[in-house]
Chain A
Amino acid sequence: MQEYSVVGKRVPNVDSRVKVTGEATYVDDLVLPGMLVGKVLRSTVAHARIVSIDTSAAEKLPGVKAVVTGKDAPNVKVGWLRGSRDRLPLTRDKVRFIGEAIAAVAAMDEDTAEEALGLIKVQYEELPAVFDPVKAMKDGAPRIQDDAKNNIALERHWNYGDVEKGFRESDYVREDTFYTPSFLCGYMEPNAAVAQWDANGKLTTWVSSQAPFFLRRELSLLYSIPQGKVRVINRFVGGGFGGKCEICDVHVSASLLARKAGRPVKVVYTTEDEFAVQPRRIPSTMTLKTGVKKDGAIVAQTSSIVTDGGPYRSVGGVTIYNHGLANMIPYRIPNFKFDAFRVFTNNQVGMAKRGHGQIQMRYAVESQMDMIAEALGIDPVDIRLKNALKPGEVTVNGLRMRTSGLVEAIEGAARRSGWKQKRGKGRAQGRGIGISCGGFACGPKIASLTDSGAIIKVNEDAGIVVYTGASDIGQGSNTVVTQVVAEVLGIGPEEISVVTGDTDVTPFEPGTYGSRVSWYMCNAAIKAAEDLRRQIVEPVASKLEVKPEEIVLRNGGLYVGERRAMSFAEAVRAVQVSSEKGILIAKGTYYPPDVEWPDPANNYYGNIAGGYSFSAQIAEVEVDRETGQVKLLKVTAGDDIGYPLNEMLAEGQAEGSISMGQGETMYENIIVSNGRVMNPSLVDYKLPTVMDTPEMDVTHVITNEPGGPFGAKEVGEGFIVSIPGAIANAIHDATGVWIKELPITPEKIVKALEAKEKEGKS
């Protein structure tokens, strides 16, 4: 493994000192003079025409300073992508799910605002609603959006090779249907916004956002004002996991109320708000038909999915595209057909959550892979090795794997976990072990502008300030950007400060989603640092009468061969005082050179990312056959993240992924009945606690991805996508039953065991 002086090291998170002291301030910690408290009124019915909204009593309540309804908002629809702008931020004529924002109130204090909400009278004329996406697609089902026949919001169809021929040539073919429900992102900091308009008509809003520039764009479109009249400032972001990418009613109500009241307004979501509108994992029904040769090699696969997106398009086709992407990675499939639908229902809106659209499909594929292995008598490890994508392979839909450490990751995890000694041998003791694999694109191209930029400014004392638009939502992007810049300039990380999250200050950045930040933003920052290095080295070289290439920056100094010519600070000083280019400002922009937009006219073919991560996880469980209780004992994993930019942060991503993946597999589930969330509290929803934490053993396969920053790929998402499959397969090893629906609860296991017993007797 190549050694660097700062990159790869366990550098503590640069924000951690202010976080452990409580100094780090989040949106709710912000107080502005004259600030009001805002609250949002939500629909209590799933589908209805709004006949009237009477706000007069609320307006008269002492202490109430503004009440807004959809009529106060511009009649402009917003949404993540051009093709998906179908949602009024405060609805006007119709409500389409329980929890949809109808009105908002700003008052002197929270109690008054809440009381005022209770005084708003909404008269509904209820409409027939539909909650099951399959029923929603039938003729005669209630229509949710005027422009969507049969409630089909979006569909995608790919067809590569000849699947029918592939099935004919297969030795074994099977078809299974899997279901995954809706999950909460579950970030700990409630979504929140403070908004203020100044006398120039400029809106400033303090938010907790994964994508401040997208938010700026949406607010500028909504209010028909230039982007220069909207300033979005991120505070510290208390987690996101996909749930803080989009504009939501928190931003719209805060800014509308602030405009109407002429005072700053703060809106902070309650847990109830979060369960109503937090973008959640899309429920997905997936039917997989797979044909293999006797040795387990996949010949053909069809993947058909129906997803429940709720009544709006939100992130549009990305979620369903991602399901197909998860079919393509990490196994070789020569013939593949994909049919995917995003369907409108009157449930809450589905969007992105860590492992967006992919964790669902990985669970399905990995479960079926073990069913196939069992039928053919092949070891689950061997069938995965057989199909694993190798370096240099191109998938049928055009994804180019320049590097792949998957084979080594599988072999390493199998060895370290004691797979051979344990597999198939623990059932009598209720023990099981299971494997699953995954991978992820490093920043898939999903929108037209996906470049990243970075600016570096040098202080008079040679200190470095890096400006990037990336949101550090806890994953540590501020830390890794510090490390890569320090590495290029040969200085210590303590010499560098990072400024992020202010759309008036930093260059554009799409946002922290799709595992793009390390790849795009660090590459941009490296280029900026290289630009700065050139600006310093060139004038100094001519002074030293050497060629610029002869100068190396390390250890806080400029070296010619082994000779330290001067310190970095001296070099900066020399440039600052002697040349016309004394004000040192450097920039870098980055866009991967070989990335293509998946082309709809060409079967969505295209290499959507510069690199692909891989992972292999082995889970060990203990199952109580009487109660169905599962304990996740250990996860042994190998991953190929190219090269870890910061070992400690990379471990943190893997550990957090295991916990979150464990939650989705074993406990979590937003239970929705007739459009109503039945478990809107963190305890009833069952977020994992420390009591659930298994033992973890994660090691990396170093592949040094050529296009990645210092060889790095991504680490935030590729790891989580294979957790459910590993646990599900371990549960099967322990019990002999398959549960084709998440979460795998004790009740489902007991039921399946009972059914199996009956079957055995009859």
Chain B
Amino acid sequence: MKQTITLTVNGDEFQLAVDPRRTLLEVLREELHLTGAKKNCNEGECGACTVIMDGKAVSSCLVLAVQARGKKIETIEGLARNGKLHPLQEAFVKHGGLQCGFCTPGMIMSAKALLDKNPRPTEDEIKTAIAGNLCRCTGYVKILESIKAVVDGKG
């Protein structure tokens, strides 16, 4: 039996009838066609599906869509405003914080959740915030540099 839920995604409200077994990730990708959040492991181990829910970074593959009922969801698609990239996005471009790009949306969302709460985190706090986001390409060096550049206002 489908349940009707309201989701607020990047400021837009959606009324959806969803199967209670569907994850937030599936609903974002398949119903709302917001494919920026990526699916890899589908079991909370890689962070590719990270979105922000009520201010907190979550693995959307572990959240049921019905659990997100009434919550405010932010995805990578909502970051750039009026054609202007978010400072984190700018920094990842400028400092080479990505290669294949598959981990990038999740990585940036984890970083954003941190900076929204704590604009001047320490290096350890940054590492903790992205510890659940796997990246096979970069060795994380330029990802850290990108996030630090934003923290230091050098984005």
Chain A residues packing against B (C-beta within 8 Å)? 10, 12-13, 15-17, 19-26, 28-29, 31, 186-190, 236-239, 241, 268, 270-271, 473-476, 648-649, 651-652, 655-660, 681-683, 687-691, 693, 696
In the complex, which residues of chain A have a beta carbon less than 8 angstroms from the beta carbon of B130?
690
Interface string of B23-57 (1 = CB under 8 A from A): 00000010001111111111101101000000000
Q: Which 5 A-B pairs have the closest CB atoms?
A: A22-B36, A474-B100, A19-B101, A238-B102, A659-B139
Q: When chains A and B are docked, how far (Å) is the Cα of A760 from the Cα of B148?
A: 49
The minimal Cβ–Cβ distance linking B41 to chain A, given in whole angstroms, is: 5
| Besides the known contacts A476-B99, A655-B141, A659-B140, 11 further A-B residue pairs in the complex with CB atoms under 8 A apart | A16-B92, A22-B37, A188-B102, A271-B41, A271-B45, A475-B99, A687-B136, A688-B139, A690-B127, A690-B140, A693-B139
B62 proximal to A (CB < 8 A): no
Contact A21 B96 (CB under 8 A): no
B17 adjacent to chain A (CB < 8 Å):
no
Interchain nearest-CB distance for B125 vs A (Å): 12
- Within 8 Å CB of B46, what residues of A? 188, 682
> Considering the chains assembled together, what is the distance between the CA atoms of A268 and B34 in angstroms?
18
Chain B residues with CB under 8 Å of A20's CB are 76, 85, 88-89, 92-93, 98, 101, 104-105, 108
Q: Which residue of B lies closest to A681 (CB)?
A: B45
Interfacial chain A residues near B16, Cβ < 8 Å: none
Please name the residue on chain A nearest to B30 by beta carbon: A31
Is chain A's binding surface mostly helix, strand, loop or mixed? loop
Q: Which residues of B contact A271 (CB under 8 A)?
A: 40-43, 45
Count how many chain B residues have C-beta atoms less than 8 Å from C-beta atoms of the other chain.
53
Cβ of B144 under 8 Å from chain A: yes
Q: Which residues of B contact A22 (CB under 8 A)?
A: 34-37, 75-77, 105
B residues in contact with A652, CB < 8 Å: 96, 99, 137-139, 142
Complex-state Cα separation, A16 to B42, whole angstroms: 25
Task: Verify B98–A19 contact, CB threshold 8 A.
Answer: yes
Given A28-B39, A690-B127, decide whether A658 and B100 contact each other with a Cβ distance below 8 A.
Answer: no
B79 at the interface (CB under 8 A from A): yes
Q: In the bound complex, do residue A693 and residue B77 qualify as a contact, i.e. CB atoms below 8 Å apart?
A: no
A358 to B46, CA, bound (A): 28
Residue of A19, A236, A475 contacting most chain B CB atoms (<10 Å): A19
CB distance from B101 to the nearest CB of A (A): 3
Q: Are A188 and B127 in contact (CB under 8 A)?
A: no
14 contacting pairs across A/B (C-beta < 8 A): A12-B94, A20-B105, A22-B35, A22-B77, A26-B102, A188-B136, A239-B99, A239-B136, A474-B98, A475-B99, A659-B139, A689-B140, A690-B135, A690-B144
Min C-beta distance of A362 to chain B, whole Å = 19
Does B134 sit at the interface, judged by CB under 8 A?
Answer: yes
Q: Which of A25, A238, A476 gathers the greatest number of chain B CB atoms within 10 Å?
A: A238
A313 → chain B closest CB, angstroms = 27
C-alpha spacing A660/B135, complex, angstroms: 10
Residue from A12, A236, A655, A658 in contact with B101 in the complex, judged by beta carbons closer than 8 Å: A236
- Of all chain B residues, the one with the shortest Cβ separation from A28 is B39
Say yes or no for B7: interface residue by CB 8 A criterion. Answer: no
User: Is B9 interfacial (CB 8 A cutoff)?
Assistant: no
